[in-house]
Amino acid sequence: DVGGLDSLLKAATVPVIAPLSHDGEGQMLNINADTMASAVATALSAIYEVTLVFCFELPGVMGDINDPASLIAQLSSEKYEELKIAGIIADGMIPKLDNSFAALRKGVAQIRISNTEGLRTKDSGTVLKLKI
C-alpha cells in the first residue's frame, strides 16, 4: 500500500519492511530481500523520484570478484546481459541485477549497488542504467 508508506514517510517515520509473506494457509515464506526492495521502490516511484541503493560486502558490481580494482562504475542492461552470458556476473548477483533492471523499467529513477560507502556518497559503487 503505497499510500500507507507515503503517510509514514510524511510523518518522518522510517518504515522497516521484513521480506516475509505467507501461503494463505499459515505457512510463512521468505521473500528475496532484493525483490522486496525493488517492489517498494517501484511503488514509491509513482509519487517520488526514487534512488534505490543496494548495499552488500563488495564495492559494487565487479568485473573480477577477486580484483578490487575491477569495479564496473556504470552498467547498462545490455552490458549486464553480455556479462551474464560470459559468466562474469553469476550467482547471487543475477537476481539482484534482474530485480534492479526491472525496477528501472518500471520507473525507479536510479539504482546503485555498493558497500556501505554507498550510503554516505553518491559517487561510490555501480550505477545501473537501462542504456549508457
15 neighbors 5 (Cβ within 8 angstroms): yes
Quote the CA–CA distance of 28 and 41 in Å, as a whole number.
Answer: 23
Does this model's pTM top 0.75?
A: yes
Task: Collapse the DSSP code of 9 into the 3-class scheme (helix H, G, I; strand E, B; otherwise coil) and give the result.
Answer: helix
CA atoms within 13 A on the CB side of 114: 20
Strand 110-114 relative to strand 51-55, pairing: parallel
User: SS3 helix, strand, coil % of the chain, rounded to 5?
Assistant: 35, 20, 45
Q: Could you count the other beta carbons within 10 Å of the beta carbon of residue 43?
A: 19
Length of the chain as a residue count: 132
116 neighbors 55 (Cβ within 8 angstroms): yes
Taken in order of first residue, the domains within the chain and their CATH numbers are: 2-129 (3.40.1160.10)
pLDDT tens digit sequence for 103-113? 999 999 999 99
pLDDT tens digit sequence for 32-57? 999 999 999 999 999 999 999 999 99
